[in-house]
Structure 1
Amino acid sequence: MIFYDRFFLFSLYSIWIMLFYGGILTFFGYKYYLEVRRKKFKIDQFPFVSILVPAHNEEKVIEETVRSIMELNYPIDRFELIVIDDLSMDNTSFILGKLEDEFAGRMKVVRTNKENGGRGKANALNVGLKHAVGELIAVYDADNRPDKRALMYLVAEINKDDTLGAVIGKFRTINKNKNLLTRFINIEGLSFQWMAQGGRWRIFNLCTIPGTNFLVRRCILDKIGGWDEKAIAEDTEISIRIYSMGFKIKFVPQAVTYEQEPENLRVWFKQRKRWVKGNIYVVYKYLLSKDMRKNRAYADVLYFFLVYVIFLAAIFISDLVFILGILTDIKVYTTGNLLLIWFLAYIMFVLEVSISLSLEKEEFTFNNIMLIFLMYFTYCKLWGIVSAQGLYSFIKDRVLNREHKWYKTERF
């Protein structure tokens, strides 16, 4: 077998392994969703909750977010809202000042300065944590519209299980009908993110904290020293340390928040590049750590390594083989019906995503199914490009000994 063919087989096996793993997660995620749909939540105790919302130049969205949080179906004397105004240069400070007056006693605005602010979301959360008094800490992004029952669901779940260090809800795309990109993002969220979270919890009792709509015990944050300010995917990184302490993180899909997603490719590329670099930082920090080998969350570290190194390389090789096969005389001599193998992978992708959408009646539509067929050739290819950019940028920062810059997603 020639060297060229071995590269091709490597890409073929890698892609199919990831597809098979995705299929397993989809199956068990589907089962988990059906199980929790029948579940009834009961809450007898209402621990005090401090809700942190980091905000930097959020004049377009912050007022609606604050008002949505203030309308949560949770006793008004059992939670506080702390908004961290992190060096905003627009009208965010003015809007927050009016809201702080309106919700006096229930809302607090913490304003950073050049000495303690401007260093990203993790730093802003740590600043806010110093002012929080709750035994439970909730986090929402500045563009969120949480469902009124979201916090209640999260508290009810963490109340009854002392082994849970944190609980997470899910987010939905509030601007999903804006354009083709937001429709793709909506489908991605329902399948590759939330169905996978459900599957991982159902199989491994393992979840990763998202950037918003989660609840964590204050005592844990104090013990681990808060959020890692060098991590630009602070949510993934803190998940690893929570598991290191022997706690679990549970997925509660009934707790829903709605958030705004990027409406153009420029903003999308910057956001996803930050996500990729943040996850690669987690791999860099923990992959070779001997102490991590016995940690349940080490499976996630390995998964990120497979996705952003092995799978990314497989996708690149696969596309390169296809292009060279068209433009040059270089051919693959591996025997077998390669067209059939590719077609089966394509159908498997479509089926996995379609199953995810079937759990949401308003999403399981003919138009969305057609978008899935298109997504394989468009949006997924963009993922490969942005992942490669993120990996290259991370390596470049390490070689040049530069600090990673935190990019805040622009609002619309």
Structure 2
Amino acid sequence: MANFFLYLALFLLWFMLFYHIFLMLGGYLEFLKHDEDVKNFSESEGELPTVSILIPSHNEQLVIENTLQAMINLNYPKDKLEIIPINDNSSDQTGFIVDEYAKRYPFIKPIHTKPPTGGKGKSGALNQGLKHSTGEVIVVYDADNTPEPEAIFNLVIGLNNDKKAAAVVGKFRVLNAKENLLTRFINIETLTFQWLAQAGRWHWFKMTTIPGTNFAIRRSVIEELGGWDEQAISEDTELSFRVYNAGYHIRFFPAAITWEQEPETLSVWWKQRMRWAQGNQYVIFKFLFQFRKLNNKVRLDLFYFLFTYLFFFGGILISHLIFILNLIFDLELLIGNVSIVLLVTGFLLFLVEVWLALSLEKGQLNLINALVVVLMYFVYSQMWVVLVLSASFREAKRVLFNQEVKWYKTERFDSQPMKQTIVKGKTKSTSER
């Protein structure tokens, strides 16, 4: 019996490894043609539509000013742009800050939500923002994001040049990547996800997943779909599935770049990733029970998420368990030394995949990051195994006991040296204090 489960675990792990190699090859091929796509799209930009940028904000006083300043610096016609910070039942100075910016910049149009409609999470805030928006294109940014000046323009020309695309997804980079070992792990994870899972899937299958930030969606589509699912704590993944099932596709266009702050402590990382994992499991089972009504693209993406969160992590847990039990008891495993060869080969494949992803970003494949990747395999990847197991337990408990979904807002860190602060209508930088 132990041999059967070990072979099953190895099959699951190696299937995923080979699939990731396939995706990484697609990501690399997509990278090679990216500059040509940007050039072609820029030359045929078309008429620029009106754009509404929704920024859901709950207790974001540490970061919201930098985000609003980045919005002001966007290279997009201001007469076609409205910035809508959604002060979602904040108890800090978020509301005051966005109101002060609105006094100086007429295209910033904040809204303030209170219970019972406000304070329930990101999806609810976005739905409130959608009701107050007027743009032909809806763009979403988290409150800790500082998009580059050309970000909105690039999202828009992606839509203008791809009439079948309901949405265009940009690239996000880690603002505080060098803060500590955890943020270095997250930076590497982020770059790998974008060039492997996003660019790779786009290249081979014309599929990608809407992230929580830095994406544009046509107003007609989001209204057709009825807005965001307020029961989903991974509202981005859930929306992606509905977009595909409606017959549209989502384009990955990494010319649109934003910078975002990532968790700097393990406790904040755990809570944020727990929300992601539990939220994605909600999405998996929501659509799994609708399997017969789904189109082939959604089924393919559902299989990817199901394999990632159930079979792949299940294979890791089985292999770990057999390894530990074999240290205590003689399980009479038949695979012998071959298992060592497979483990070493799998480890080397992991390194190659991640190093290749880092090589696609200028300055990221350096000695420090190369060594961090080695450590990442033994530390960060194992943290994810424990987290997914915990998230599975929590989601099962929530379903069995019909518990209400609770939204966790990621804690921010005041680590930006030139943060702007409004005091009585005036702006001061930290250098002036």
Specify if TM > 0.5: yes
Distance 1:406-1:331 versus aligned 2 partners, 3 A rule? farther
CA contact (8 A) 2:173 2:259 kept: yes
| Cα distance, 1:192 vs structure 2 | 2.7
| Paired residues of 1:73 and 1:152 also in contact (CA < 8 A) | yes
2:19 is aligned, of 11, 18, 21, to 21
Provide the residue aligned with 1:146 in structure 2: 147
CA contact (8 A) 1:170 1:256 kept: yes
The C-alpha deviation readout for 1:369-405, integer Å capped at 9, x for no partner, is 1111111100000010111111111000000001211
Shift in Å at residue 44 of structure 1? Answer: 3.1
Question: What corresponds to 2:79 in structure 1?
Answer: 77
Report whether the alignment pairs 1:354 with 2:355: yes
1:276-287 mapped onto 2 (5 Å cutoff): 276-287=277-288
Give matches, 1:298-317, under 5 Å: 298-317=299-318
Aligned to 1:271: 272
Give 1:38's match in structure 2, choosing from 32, 36, 39: 36
Unmatched 5+ residue regions in structure 1?
A: none
5 Å-filtered alignment, 1:206-245, equals: 206-245=207-246
SS in 1 for 2:62: coil
Q: Distance in 2 between matches of 1:255 and 1:216?
A: 14
Deviation at 1:335, TM superposition (A): 5.1
- CA–CA distance in structure 2, aligned partners of residues 410 and 115 of structure 1: 23
AA aligned to 2:32 is L
Task: Measure, in 2, the Cα distance between the counterparts of 1:403 and 1:296.
Answer: 30
- TM-score normalised by the chain length of structure 2: 0.93
Residues 330, 272 of structure 1: alpha-carbon distance in 2 compared, 3 angstrom cutoff: same
State percent identity of aligned pairs. Answer: 44
Residue deviations 1:102-160 (CA, integer Å, cap 9, x gap): 11x20111100112111100000000000000010000000001011111111011012
Q: Name the structure 2 match of 1:128.
A: 129
Listed one character per residue, the Cα deviations across residues 323-376 of structure 1 (whole Å, up to 9, x for unaligned) are 222233334223561111110000000000000001112101011111111111
SS in 1 for 2:301: helix
SS at match of 2:186: helix
Which residue in the other structure is 2:327 paired with? Answer: 326
Please point out which of 95, 98, 101 is paired with 2:100: 98
1:158 maps to which residue? 159
Mapped to 2, the partners of 1:159 and 1:244 lie a distance apart of 22
User: Taking structure 1 as the reference length, what is the TM-score of the superposition?
Assistant: 0.97
Contact persistence 1:48–1:135 (CA under 8 A): yes
Q: State how far apart, in whole Å, the 1-side matches of 2:231 and 2:19 are.
A: 31
**Residue in 1 aligned with 2:8?**
10
The 8 Å contact of residues 277 and 390 in structure 1, kept in 2 or not, is answered as: yes
Aligned equivalent of 2:408 = 407
Match of 1:196 in 2: 197
**Distance across 2 between alignment mates of 1:59 and 1:65:** 11
- Helix, strand or coil for the counterpart of 1:209? coil
3-state secondary structure, aligned to 2:21: helix
Deviation at 1:296, TM superposition (A): 1.0
Paired residues of 2:137 and 2:219 also in contact (CA < 8 A): yes
CA contact (8 A) 1:174 1:258 kept: yes
Residues 197, 208 of structure 2: 8 Å contact kept: no
Structure 2 unaligned blocks of 5 or more = 414-433
Q: CA RMSD in A?
A: 1.1
Contact 1:292 1:298 in 2 (8 A): no
1:343 corresponds to:
344
Q: After superposition, what is the alpha-carbon deviation per residue over 1:52-90, rounded to whole angstroms, capped at 9, x for unaligned?
A: 000000000000001101111111111100010001011
CA distance in 2 between partners of 1:97 and 1:151 (Å): 23
Q: Determine the structure 2 residue equivalent to 1:376.
A: 377
- Say if 1:287 and 1:302, in contact at 8 Å, map to a contact too: no
Aligned to 1:86: 88
Matched letter for residue 185 of structure 1: I
CA contact (8 A) 1:243 1:295 kept: no
Q: What residue in structure 2 maps to residue 246 of structure 1? A: 247
The amino acid across from 1:373 in the alignment is V
User: 2:20, 2:196 within 8 Å by CA — same for their partners in 1?
Assistant: no
Distance 2:320 2:350 in 1: 17
- C-alpha deviation, 1:37, in angstroms: 2.2
* 1:219 CA displacement: 0.6
- What is the distance in 2 between the residues matched to 1:331 and 1:77? 73
What displacement does 1:291 show?
A: 4.2
Residue matched to 1:180: 181
Instruction: Tell whether the 8 Å contact from 1:33 to 1:253 is kept in structure 2 after alignment.
Output: no
Q: Secondary structure at the match of 1:107?
A: coil
2:61 alignment partner in structure 1: 59
Partner Cα distance (2:197, 2:312) in 1:
17
